[in-house]
Chains A and B, each alone.
Chain A
Amino acid sequence: MFPNAFKYEAPTSVDEAVRLMTEYGYDSKVLAGGQSLLPMMKLRIAAPAVLIDVNGIQDLKGWREADGKLRIGALVRHAELEHASELDDKYPLLSRTARWIADPPIRNRGTVCGSLVHADPGSDWGAAMIALRAEVEVQGTEGNRLIPIDEFFVDTFATSLNENELAVAVHVPTPGGPVAARYMKLERRAGDFAIAALAVHIVLDSEGRVAEGGIGIGACGPIPLRATKAEEALIGQPITEETIATVSRLVPEDADPADDLRGSAAYKRDLLRVFAARALREIAEELHGRVGNE
């Protein structure tokens, strides 16, 4: 299978990429890892007239910590975060999520930002970045702006990026206390779309109560979703058996799953409840050594 013929551009700077995106507008697509775009082009679901390959832009490579954030450049591949053990202490959700994405050869090529911009509702990074309260840094002709992740996903395969804006990085806040996280996902086999997925990110305060609690839901709605009610019930609480029971029951309330070949909506909701309870129990054991009672 071949994609339709297209014009190939390989800019070496972000400014040049933005200029090309402005010039070609809707006729162009940005190529980063290509692990979603190229299959779609081969299947002729996508047929851009121009491909703007950003792989040669040095400024988009690597990550760095600054100003209370980890800035992950747009060319950071899934596998880089999977193996970045130096990030595990402060950002444990990154490697825990990365290892669930597709399969190892795809993780060597696909990028974090590319996955976010593709905006598949089953995106592992979508759920994780919701839990982490990340922001997407984009650059257009009028300069840079940061888009909070809750305003980033508009609909399936649609984001709030403007036509000539390039996602150049994703920013993850540095936690201000002890942190633990879990990513849970059920899939029929490696590389299939998730049946359901859940990302849980917890930061404790000095009293051992939840200072920051992020819960992102994947593959259960038109976009990755935030378990808002569950987060509200979690904040300020110690992670006890009672908290776990209450919070895990609330997670499915913000999900919007559909009946499909991978399972019924009711099954997926229950899966999210079970994932939340397991994740919180494991996190409590990691941070406290055990799960307490009130």
Chain B
Amino acid sequence: MNIRVKVNGRLYEADVEPRTLLAYFLREQLNLTGTHIGCDTTTCGACTVLFDGKPIKSCTVLAVQADGHEVMTVEGLESNGQLHPLQSAFWEDHALQCGYCTPGMLMAAYGLLQTNPAPTDEEIREALSGNICRCTGYMNIVKAVQNAARQMAGENQEVIEEAAVSGTSTD
């Protein structure tokens, strides 16, 4: 079946077998191997991507179901060679060891910060409850998400202040 799907802002057209899962389509047909496949049973969250802006587990959605929809993978986080604040914070706060769960953690955390820019530790833990890490533990992951949230709030503040100085509105 032919599908058209926007991934990280770029439109792809591809021919997929109906049983192809979105995670495999991303990795094997689009070569976006940042999305990891862990448990394959909707448990571990390593394959988490955003589907129309919301985190989902891409091992449990068919690629044909993404036809006409927008997907964002971990490759979509950095821009112009600059790491996203979440990626920098994971690095700075040592929120990973082997890194296998990291793409899913980043996308689930990104989804949370889109709707809740200043979450509590408890809200972060709830948002990441579908993502399993088997080596770092969760302390540093929660810390990194907090740091990223603060940094992103600071960046927004700078934008607002710059706009105020130059006399333009950000609305």
Contacts and interface: CB of A to CB of B under 8 A. Distances in A.
Interface of A: 1-8, 10, 31, 34-35, 38-39, 42-43, 51, 53, 55, 79, 102-106, 108-109, 190-191
A5 B17 CA distance: 8
Nearest to B126: A104
Main secondary structure of the interface of A (DSSP, over half): loop
A55 B54 CA distance: 16
A109 B45 contact: no
Contacts, number: 86
Interface of B: 1, 17-21, 24, 40-43, 45, 48, 51, 54-57, 59-62, 64-65, 108, 111-112, 126-127, 129-131
A181 to B, nearest CB: 20
Contacts of B130: 102-106, 190-191
Nearest to A8: B18
Contacts of B59: 42
14 contacts: A10-B64, A34-B62, A38-B21, A38-B62, A39-B60, A42-B41, A103-B129, A103-B130, A104-B129, A105-B45, A105-B130, A106-B60, A108-B55, A109-B60
Contacts of B60: 34-35, 38-39, 106, 109
Contacts of B57: 105-106, 109
B19 A43 contact: no
Given A8-B62, A39-B60, A104-B126, 12 more contacts: A2-B21, A3-B19, A34-B61, A42-B41, A42-B59, A79-B54, A105-B48, A105-B54, A105-B56, A109-B56, A109-B60, A191-B43
